[in-house]
Amino acid sequence: MIHSLPLSALAAGSAVLVLSGSAFASPAPEFSLGLAGAMSLGSVQDRSDGSDALLDPAVSARFGTSGSTWWSVSASGMVDDDAANKDYSLRFTYHRFLAEDFELNLALTGWFHDQQVDDEASGSFDLGFRYHFLADRDRGWSVYGDIGIGFMLSSGPVPEDGTDYNFTPRAGVGVTLELPDRFGGDVGARLDLGVGWQHYSNASTSGSDENPGRDSLYVRAGVIFPF
């Protein structure tokens, strides 16, 4: 025999179910907010300790930062020790900072050799290292020393009593200066000025009689850009 429940009992039961559902449902927004807050806090902590600094494009493009990459174009002129021969070059260089203020350089260089008898043209691949031992990032300048060596192929003998191939060790010092915005500073461009010693030699691989060598003093100017 089925007995009907009073309406008042049904209403009370419905209220209990509604309240119970609310009790189970209400923590969900609090949990989602808490998870979002924890994720935000975690990302702030990641940035504050510097571990994810390179993920920030503004930081990774900062000159001298480990892991940042740059490229440059530069021109140089040089004269040998008796001022009898002059050399001119145009160089494109890839810069990779292996550590803070310490960079690896890979370059392709075109040369013109103004010699006493026969002028020649050359191309070379160069490997170098550069260390910015003084740097003020707030004022936008650095002072560096660099060394490098390359292998050069020429259209004829360089020097004139030598061969059409040479090794090209070099060493120098220079400065970089952040350019004003109107000259490219708004994209991180820097002026690069340097002086140094340049040597040509085939390392006597064709005999000492065909290795006169050449030592020159060079001056260089160029512009560095973020890669």
What is this structure's pTM? 0.72
pLDDT of residue 164: 94
Cα–Cα distance for residue pair 88/110, rounded to 1 Å? 8
Strand positions, DSSP E, the chain: 69-80, 86-99, 102-114, 120-136, 141-158, 163-167, 170-178, 190-200, 214-226
Span 68-121, pLDDT tens digits: 999 999 999 999 988 889 999 999 999 999 999 999 999 999 999 999 889 999
Tell me how far apart the alpha carbons of residues 95 and 217 are, in angstroms, rounded to a whole number: 23
Amino acid (1-letter code) at residue 112: F
pLDDT at 61: 65
Half-sphere exposure for 210 (CA within 13 Å, toward CB):
11
3-state class (DSSP) for residue 85: coil
List, for residues 13-30, the tens digit of each pLDDT value.
444 333 344 444 444 444
Indicate if the pLDDT at residue 213 is higher than 50: yes
